[in-house]
Structures are given as structure tokens and as C-alpha cells.
Structure 1
Amino acid sequence: MSAPTRSYRSPRRERGAAQTRQDILAAARELFIAQGYAQVTMGHIARAAGVATKTLYASVGTKTELLHALLATDVADSRTTGLLDEVFRSQDLASAVTCLAHGIRDNTERFAPSIDLLYSSMASDAKAREVWDYVVTQYRQALREAAEHLVSIGAAAPHLDVNGAADRLWLCLGLSAWRSLVVDCGWSYDAAERLLSRQALNMLEDPVPA
């Protein structure tokens, strides 16, 4: 009776396959952001990554599967955990808003390519829209928790309840606010942080009800 054959795994080959996949993902991200998800073909991605189309499909699957692989990676890396720790230790409005604005700025700047990817693809891909809705929900919840803290310590204007404070924080520090200044207007993140932080502070301490 012959001995059972043992499958052979080559670490070098596996490392090569992993690097090829990373090259493909990087090339696809760049093309999707620059040209829009709907305009990019698998042939474009294969040429940009320097691989055969057959290799492209073997590595990442279809174009939709490729997009979803990118989004899954981004969501795994993107978390609001820890964003509020310093805010909760703040006992005055100015320091709390400053901490919150800086923490959101860091996340927004760090994940700018991912946000650009979502913007370019969510109109034509339901999964991208689902991921965008998830990210928005996470950030709105974080801002609501910050609003709850500010109202509980009496730092916000007396006429503001949690909903009112949370809405003002979203208007001033939500993802669209950063994108409007940085992407649409060409501001630096430093300048955007200063303006949005000041705007949020003014709106939260405004004694006049809306």
C-alpha cells in the first residue's frame, strides 16, 4: 500500500500571491478613486497592477468582489473606539470640543482614501452604500455620546438637549463638513480643524435657541 501523498505548500509562493493581491488592491483603489468605480474595468486594473487578467480574477474574483475586499479591509481598520475617552474626561466645553475635533480630524485624514473610495462607488454598488451608512451611523453615535456628556455636565447652552447638541456636532464635525473644506475647497486639515472646532464651540454655547 503506497503512502498517502502530502500536499506541498510553498511559503515563497504564498508570499508572492499575497503581495500580488496587495498590488492589485492598491491599483484598484487608486483607479476607483481617480476615475470612479463604474468607469474602471478589470482590464484597467490588471494593467495598472502589472498582472494578467487571469491572475487578477484568480486573486480577487470579480470587480464587485474586489470592491468588497477593499471595503472590508477599510471597515476592519476604521473604528471610533477610543475617540471619546479624552472628551469624557473634559469638564468644560472648549476642551471637550477641541479633543473631539482633533480626534475626528485624525480619523478623517487617516481614512481619506477609504472615504474617497466610498464616494466614488456607493452610487453604483449597494455594498458600498451599506458600508457608508455603517460608517455614518458609527460617527453619529460617537457624536451623540459626546453630546450626552456635554449636556450632563452643563457645558452646552441651557436650551440644548442631547438631540440639539448632537445635531450641531454632526453639522460642524460630520464627514461631509471635512470633505467640503478639504476636498471641495482645498483647505489643509489643520485649517479645517481650526474652523470646524470654532464653529462647533460657537453653536454649542449660543444662548439663542434656533
Structure 2
Amino acid sequence: MATKRAYASPLRQQAAARTREQVLRCAAGLFAGRGYGRVTVADIAAAAGVSPKTVFASVGSKSDILDRIVDQGVTASGHEEAVGRLLGLSDPRDLLRELAAATRLGNEGQFVVHEAIRKALPAHEQAEELWERATGEYRRALGAVARHLDTLTPRPPTSVEETADLLWFWFGPSGWRTLVVENGWSWERAERFLCRTATATLC
């Protein structure tokens, strides 16, 4: 007797994908606003306009939701393409100007996701691993830029390791957050300042 094959409706799959995106978007907003520890699956369900059962079925537990948010943030950062462009530049001033613009674009576009992750750290049982997943590739990309800067003229007056540390200090998520959130600067003002500071120090 032939086994009945399950039929996967494209429309149903599209609807499920939209539901997942809605759940993740609402969860990121709630985590960023209230903090991971203060948000329940019921809160996420209410914000997304679905039942808690649908949240569990489409994405999983609250921890699963945060995992998906981290993965989405890493995928959406576009760091590989940006680094490829930067490594093709031969003038250090042009490179730092492009780096400031690219990291602003990434941090501004992923701000809610970054805040969701940051505010989850005190309440998440695997906070260190979570932060490494969220920022590891970003930091390694800045390390690649530091190594490239060391091959250009004029070379930075710092070692490659120190240059990489400085790039992370200026252009990592915490540097942007300090200027934009804590100091209330515009993203444009922060970009100009970071570019000017990096150029004055390294060139």
C-alpha cells in the first residue's frame, strides 16, 4: 500500500515564514525595549498578534527566539562584502572613511537587534557565548582591516594588534552606542567624529 505523502503548500509555507519574521521582529523590539528577562512568550505573542502556541510552533522557546535574532543579526550585517571592498582600497584615509560609513550602516540598521542582545546578557545563562556569536565575526573583520592598513602608506604608528584594538574601540558596537545612545549624538555626527579620530591617530 502506497504511503501518503504530506503536501506542503507554498502559500502555507510563505504564511509560516511571515509569521516567523513577525515573531522575531516583535521579540527583538521587546527585548531591546524591556530587556530579555522582563519579556515572556505571551508578551511576544501579543505583540505579534498570534497565540503563544503559534510562537512555540513557529520559532520555539524564548531562548530559541533570541538565538534566531542573533543569527539574523550576523547574517544581515553584510560584513563579508564590506570587508572585501575595504581590502581593495589603497589609501588609508579612504579606507577609514569607508570603514566609518560601513560600520555606521551596519550598526544603525541592526540597532534594535544589537540592543536586544546587549540587554539579554545579564539574564542569559550563556551570555559569554551569545556575545561571541553576535560580535566575533565583526571583530575578526576589523582585524583583517588592521592587517591591510599595515601594508599601506603611510603605515599606522601602532602595531597590527593595537590597530585592531583601536578599530574595535572606535567602530565596534559599544563605541557607536556610547556616542549615539549615551551621548545622544546623531549617527551622522558619530560617523564624522569616529572617522576624524581614527584618521588623526592612524594616518
* TM tier, smaller: 0.7 to 0.9
1:196 is aligned to 194
Contact 2:71 2:134 in 1 (8 A): no
Deviates more, 1:77-86 or 1:176-185: 77-86
2:50 is aligned to 51
**CA distance 1:124–1:88, shift in 2 (3 Å):** same
Q: Distance in 1 between matches of 2:18 and 2:142?
A: 38
Amino acid of the residue matched to residue 50 of structure 1?
A: G
**CA distance 1:199–1:47, shift in 2 (3 Å):** same
2:158 is aligned to 160
Aligned-pair RMSD on alpha carbons?
2.3
2:33 is aligned to 34
3-state SS, counterpart of residue 124 of structure 1: coil
Q: Distance in 2 between matches of 1:142 and 1:22?
A: 28
Deviates more, 1:43-52 or 1:195-204: 43-52
Q: Distance in 2 between matches of 1:5 and 1:145?
A: 53
Aligned counterpart for 1:171 among listed residues 152, 165, 169: 169
Could you list the per-position Cα deviations for residues 134-167 of structure 1 after superposition, in whole angstroms to 9, with x for gaps in the alignment?
343322222222222222224234x422122222
Q: Distance in 1 between matches of 2:82 and 2:198?
A: 17
Once the two structures are TM-superposed, the CA of residue 3 in structure 1 deviates from its matched residue by: 5.7
**CA distance 1:57–1:134, shift in 2 (3 Å):** closer
2:113 is aligned to 114
Contact 2:86 2:99 in 1 (8 A): yes
TM (normalized to structure 1)?
A: 0.84
Radius of gyration: which is bigger? 1
5+ residue gaps in structure 1? 206-210
Q: Distance in 2 between matches of 1:139 and 1:128?
A: 17
**CA distance 1:138–1:13, shift in 2 (3 Å):** closer
Number of aligned positions between the proteins:
203
Contact 1:118 1:128 in 2 (8 A): no
Contact 2:22 2:48 in 1 (8 A): yes
After the TM superposition, list the runs of 4 or more consecutive aligned residues in structure 1 that deviate by more than 6 angstroms.
Answer: none
Identity of aligned residues (%): 35
Contact 1:101 1:193 in 2 (8 A): yes
Once the two structures are TM-superposed, the CA of residue 126 in structure 1 deviates from its matched residue by: 4.2
Once the two structures are TM-superposed, the CA of residue 193 in structure 1 deviates from its matched residue by: 0.5
Q: Distance in 1 between matches of 2:60 and 2:146?
A: 43
**CA distance 1:4–1:137, shift in 2 (3 Å):** closer
Could you list the per-position Cα deviations for residues 57-105 of structure 1 after superposition, in whole angstroms to 9, with x for gaps in the alignment?
2222221122222222222323421223343333333222112211211
Contact 1:46 1:52 in 2 (8 A): yes
Contact 1:118 1:129 in 2 (8 A): no
TM (normalized to structure 2)?
A: 0.86
Q: Distance in 1 between matches of 2:63 and 2:126?
A: 9
Q: Distance in 1 between matches of 2:155 and 2:83?
A: 17
